[in-house]
Amino acid sequence: MMKKIIFLASAVFLLNSCVVRTATKVVTGVAKVGYKAVKGTVNGISWAVSKAKGKIDEDRVDGTWKVVGVYRGSFEDFSNDQNPESSFNSDCADSFDQIIFNAKKSKFKPVHCSSEKEDWVKYSMEFGKNPLTKEKENYIEYNSNNYISVIDVNNKTMVLEGNLMPKLAFSGAKLYLLEKVK
């Protein structure tokens, strides 16, 4: 009888310590994943930015995206910034700056509200070493030797880095938050 009690007490102690150790690992893992993930909101849309860990399916960029936030700096600057102020003041009165991707034809069309007619630009979406950043990432190459990094994309938002809007590039704008319109 005494052996059974000692055995049960040992088993309970062993199981209890395993659960605590496992729970600690889970909490630590969650903390690492959550680190540098959310940096605030712009017009009610969160800058939930972390670089995609693998290849992004090209179909995910398909659609019409409006520019809702611009960060003046690179993704690296953004991830190290403790309090990034993202702002985007569009000079569009009744419209918005947008970009339209047609993944089936591998073409995109930048549209600014003041110019309705823009040409379609042929692109190639790749996952590998970006020639511009020298990082392994998802990127779009267009007009031979022009690159836009695709930081991440989901069904509501997309974050791009590069010379997306030349009118803002002179002020150091490199990181763009886009919201899916359709």
Choice among 28-32, 63-67, 168-172 with the minimum mean pLDDT: 28-32
pLDDT band at 155 (very low <50, low <70, confident <90, very high): confident
Percentage of the chain exceeding pLDDT 90 = 12
Quote the tokens at residue 117: 């007619």
d(CA 80, CA 31): 17
Pairing status of strand 45-48 against strand 107-111:
unpaired
Task: Of 160, 9, 167, give the one whose Cα is nearest residue 90.
Answer: 167
Q: The whole model's pTM is what?
A: 0.69
Q: Counting every residue, how long is the chain?
A: 182
d(CA 116, CA 43): 25
Question: How far from chain centre, in Å, is Cα 119?
Answer: 26
Amino acid (one-letter) located at 109 = K
Contact 100, 123 (CB under 8 A): no
Mean pLDDT of 5-23: 54
Task: Please report the pLDDT score of residue 107 as a whole number.
Answer: 92
Q: Give tens-digit pLDDT for 108-154.
A: 888 776 566 778 889 999 999 988 888 899 999 998 888 989 988 88
Q: Give tens-digit pLDDT for 51-81.
A: 888 888 888 999 999 888 888 888 888 777 7
DSSP 57: P
